Amino acid sequence: METKGIVIKAQDYKENDKLLWIYTEKLGKVTAIAKGAKKSKNKSFSITLPLCYSDYLLFKGKSLYRLSEGKIINSFQGLLNNLEKLTYSSYLCELIDISTEDGEKNPYLFKEFLTALYLLDTDAIDYELLIRAFELKVLKATGYEIDFNNCVFCKKKINSSNYISLSYYGGVCEECPKEHGVYLSRASFNALRFLNSATLDKVYRVNLNEEMKEELFKINSFIISSNYVRKPKSLEMLKFIKE
């Protein structure tokens, strides 16, 4: 099977081989073995590096795929030379890893992931803004979209809100009870709503001050941590480098 894919994780395996987790356009997330990839002279070496975006030729084995060859489209190695970018891109990979199942195809998420890496690479957008928007795309793509348009209790249409229910993932209107959720500023609510619906290349249009960034971070982190198989670890690293 030939498919475009991005290496989200790589580790050494047996003597000269590497085990790769590749998020692919046609097969979703796959685990593949790359024979002989540990020897840097091997021509397949560069296509097995984390973040590498390539055309891959994969063969299905008994339990793992076997990577036979590939052609680099963009290695994104520039993201590895800057600690902040490295941390953010590792986080994007980790988020893809924890939010998707093996073999679950999702071309929408694949496209958003790729766009996020390109935007991170070109410095086009405030990193944090991009990360928050990407988190919302991941939630949306995996069935946990936050509802910013209707009250989660009475379903009435809302223009804005100052409360997000963390049990039903969405805004709450003036009349409904404010429980099991968090208060936030209306500006943050509106920013979240915009980031949720805008395409990633348009998210620069919103401006976040530090207080809003903190509110968005808290809400997204809570929903991500409570829905996926494990909590992303690089989130803590992100907090650490920001301080």
- Cβ of residue 158: shortest distance to Zn ion, in angstroms? 8
Q: Which is nearer to Zn ion, 104 or 174 (CB)?
A: 174
Instruction: Determine the interface stretch with Zn ion among 55-63, 90-98, 149-157, 198-206 (rule: CB under 5 A).
Output: 149-157
Instruction: Determine the interface stretch with Zn ion among 3-11, 50-58, 152-160, 211-219 (rule: CB under 5 A).
Output: 152-160
Between CA 30 and CA 22 the distance in angstroms is 5
- Cβ of residue 186: shortest distance to Zn ion, in angstroms? 16
Among 1, 4, 215, which residue's Cα sits nearest to residue 107?
4
Among 83, 124, 154, 241, binds Zn ion (CB under 5 A): 154
Between CA 227 and CA 119 the distance in angstroms is 26
Q: Which residue has the tokens 């809302």?
A: 158
Site string for Zn ion, 36-75 (x = CB under 5 A): ----------------------------------------
168 touches Zn ion (CB under 5 A) = no
176 touches Zn ion (CB under 5 A) = yes
153 touches Zn ion (CB under 5 A) = yes
Among 151, 200, 223, 235, binds Zn ion (CB under 5 A): 151
Q: Which is nearer to Zn ion, 28 or 171 (CB)?
A: 171
Between CA 72 and CA 97 the distance in angstroms is 21
- Cβ of residue 156: shortest distance to Zn ion, in angstroms? 5
Size of the site for Zn ion (CB under 5 A): 5
Whether 238 contacts 88, CB under 8 Å:
yes
Among 156, 138, 136, which residue's Cα sits nearest to residue 203?
136
Instruction: Determine the interface stretch with Zn ion among 28-36, 72-80, 110-118, 169-177 (rule: CB under 5 A).
Output: 169-177
Structure tokens at 9: 């994780």
- Cβ of residue 154: shortest distance to Zn ion, in angstroms? 3
Instruction: Determine the interface stretch with Zn ion among 63-71, 116-124, 143-151, 178-186 (rule: CB under 5 A).
Output: 143-151
Residues that bind Zn ion (CB under 5 A): 151, 153-154, 173, 176
